[in-house]
Amino acid sequence: MRRKLFTPRPSGAAERATNGKYALRVIAEPAREAQVEIPVRGPSSDWTPHGSIAVDVVNASRQQTSLTIEVEDSSGATSAGRTVVPVRPAESVSLALPLNPPGPLDMGMRGEPPIPGFQLLVADHKPVTLKRMALVRVRIPANAAPTTLFIDNLRAGPSVSYDRIVDRFGQFSKAQWPGKLAGEADLAARWREERAELQARPSLPGRDQYGGWAAGPKLKATGFFRAEKRNGKWWLATPDGHLFFSLGLNSINYVEGNTVVKGREGMFEWLPKDGDPLASHRAPPEGHAPLGLKIKLFSGRGFNFYTANLERKYGKDWIAEWRKITLARLRAWGFNTIANWSDPSLYDLKQAPYTATLDIGGNHARLSSGSDYWTRMHDSFDPVFAKSVDSTVRDLATRRRNDPWCIGYFVDNELPWGGMRDPRTRYGLALGALSLGPESPAKRALVAQLKSRYGAIEKLNQSWTARFASWEALEKPAKWDADLNAAMQRDLGLFVKELAERYFRTIRDALKKYDPNHMYLGTRFAWYTSEEVHAAAEFCDVVSFNIYRAVVDPAQYAILDEIDRPVVIGEFHMGALDRGMFHTGLVASRDQDERARMYQAYVRSVAAHPKLVGSHFFKYVDEPVVGRPGDGENYNIGFVTITDSLYPEMIAAAKQLHAAIYDERDRGLPPQVSSAR
């Protein structure tokens, strides 16, 4: 029985909307944010017994709109949640905002379990005093046209529950959806159906052995992958000389199905006991938190539901079967690249091109940019850095140097380069060096640059509007809280530029020393400044960005106009909440149909750009429903589920697009040819 917290009086003409006695009609003016405050008084102000606040909303407008719902207690403290995807025209939704639940991060995951029957709002999880609630507030963002909503049936809703929410296959146990695995018989039936499809349509027509455009123009065959500009547009070329647009999947492996069990045993309906045949899929403790994330329950002994399901499906020899089937899927779906963080054993089967993955380790110095999410930045001024690079590169590059199936090397990922938001972000690495002492190679290099430029400390002080007593005083840790004037920005920018150039040059030199045949694919920028992108373009064969957007909009990436170098998208994705997962990932879609359309739109936006030569989707398999170790990500971002079942909408969209992508990309280009180095 739903308990109403209030029954609003009709405003203007009475309107019935959903199943409340009256509905509140809200008309928001265009181009202005609107808000509605609904007071809560008397006995209804005590929400202690309730797990969530629920409301029905009907969008009576001609355009979609987002919503934010806030609750406020008598002290003014608020807790808020926003819609995951906008409410469509004529759509009716039931929304729920959890009230003081444990935050999902505290439970080891990014997205929390849904409340069945409701679209759960993305909440900030700020605590409020439930005994003395004051009001509910609905915020409607500024839209281009008037927005009319009916708000109805405000009521108490159920709580978010973490009790036994994962079934024995690793799926959400509290809901049903198309494709949910009901039993092991489903695994066998689905495999029979998929095997027949793979045998009937094993690959796309018109492709060479590497997935290049066999039916298209022929370039020089060099025996290895390379980049070339043709008719004003950058391309990759296969070892056989065919045009190649890299269509990849990241993390094609089976190890990432692990989720932490220790400390969360009550979340699972089933876990293997000692002696159980599937107990071998228990996973040892692993995972470390990104520097920028305060976490709990993200490490400890786990269980890999994905590999357990693979053994259920393919038997004791499941690893060999997984490799064979995965490669067959890539060919049939039109993917031609095994992208970053994939199982290296797939490389040696020589059935699909791959990108090799390197992460620079070692005991060289690091420094902070002020935005250190995953790690701190390498101090490329430290002489030990070159030794670290050489040690990291030597083994893999030596082993891969003669392999024609290797496209090239990604080295490092999403380093804290800074950003172009403001001067402090742009020159964060230089400010980080400034904050260190003389033991820091980066700090010594910065001081040496400034000495060479100014000579006397008085001239630096005048230029920076500073008060350093001497160069020795500048060598000590210095925190700069004042604004960065134009002269200081110029000086710090020159430091950042040299730091980046040393970084990329050192790695380029090591790669070419041990493997002159393959391309250096860059560092997969998530954050970057102009100085760093220009440095990458100077020393990398291909520059790489991870771009999480609905599409790649050239206006948002005008930085590419400043360089003449091929560029690959190292990561993108989109996810939905209609198949039992708790989080959409970084780009939300309404359902699997929309997700598939968004995949096509994104890849088409990449193919339309003259400098972009490929896009790699993150990732092959969904993340565990209750989070992966280390950072708790539990996103619906796979082409394959944790049960090794397929997302048919995504696969159909990929096959359709991939079959046409070469012809679409090659149309209408001005006649001009030049080769990359």
Is a pLDDT exceeding 70 seen at residue 12? no
Is a pLDDT exceeding 60 seen at residue 2? no
pLDDT at 371: 87
pLDDT digits (tens, 9 = 90+) for 347-382: 999 999 999 999 999 999 999 998 888 899 999 999
Are the beta carbons of 537 and 564 closer than 8 angstroms?
A: yes
pLDDT at 350: 96
Alpha helices in 231-317 (DSSP H): 305-314
Distance CA 187, CA 194 (A): 11
Lowest mean pLDDT segment, chosen from 16-25, 59-68, 566-575, 615-624:
16-25
Is a pLDDT exceeding 90 seen at residue 311? yes
Angle at 386 between CA 385 and CA 390, to 5 degrees: 115
pLDDT at 299: 77
pLDDT at 241: 97
Phi, psi of 620 (to 5 degrees): -75, -45
pLDDT at 296: 64
The DSSP symbol for 526 reads S
pLDDT at 294: 67
Q: What token pair was written down for 637?
A: 């971002």
pLDDT at 45: 86
pLDDT bracket for residue 201 (50, 70, 90): very high
Distance CA 168, CA 161 (A): 18
Q: Which CATH class is domain 366-514?
A: alpha beta
Percent of the chain with pLDDT over 70: 95
Are the beta carbons of 532 and 496 closer than 8 angstroms?
A: yes
- Domain 23-157: give its CATH architecture: Sandwich (2.60)
pLDDT at 397: 97
Burial-class residue 557 by CB neighbours within 10 Å (0-12, 13-18, 19+): middle
pLDDT digits (tens, 9 = 90+) for 79-123: 999 999 999 999 999 999 999 999 999 999 999 999 999 999 999
pLDDT at 21: 61
Phi, psi of 72 (to 5 degrees): -135, 135
Tokens 């939905």 locate to: 576
Is a pLDDT exceeding 70 seen at residue 585? yes
Across all residues in the chain, what is the average pLDDT? 92
Is a pLDDT exceeding 50 seen at residue 323? yes
23-157 and 190-341+547-675: identical CATH topology: no
- Helix then strand count (H, E) for the chain reads 13, 27
pLDDT at 284: 86
pLDDT at 667: 84
pLDDT digits (tens, 9 = 90+) for 405-433: 999 999 999 999 999 999 999 999 999 99
pLDDT bracket for residue 468 (50, 70, 90): very high
Per-domain residue ranges of the chain: 23-157, 190-341+547-675, 366-514
Strands 68-73 and 78-82 come out as: antiparallel
Amino acid at the residue 21: K
Tokens 């909009």 locate to: 553
Is a pLDDT exceeding 50 seen at residue 473? yes
Q: Which CATH class is domain 190-341+547-675?
A: alpha beta
What is the enclosing helix (H) or strand (E) of 369?
none
pLDDT bracket for residue 3 (50, 70, 90): very low
Section 630-639 average pLDDT: 96
Alpha helices in 515-615 (DSSP H): 530-539, 592-607
Lowest mean pLDDT segment, chosen from 141-145, 246-250, 486-490:
141-145
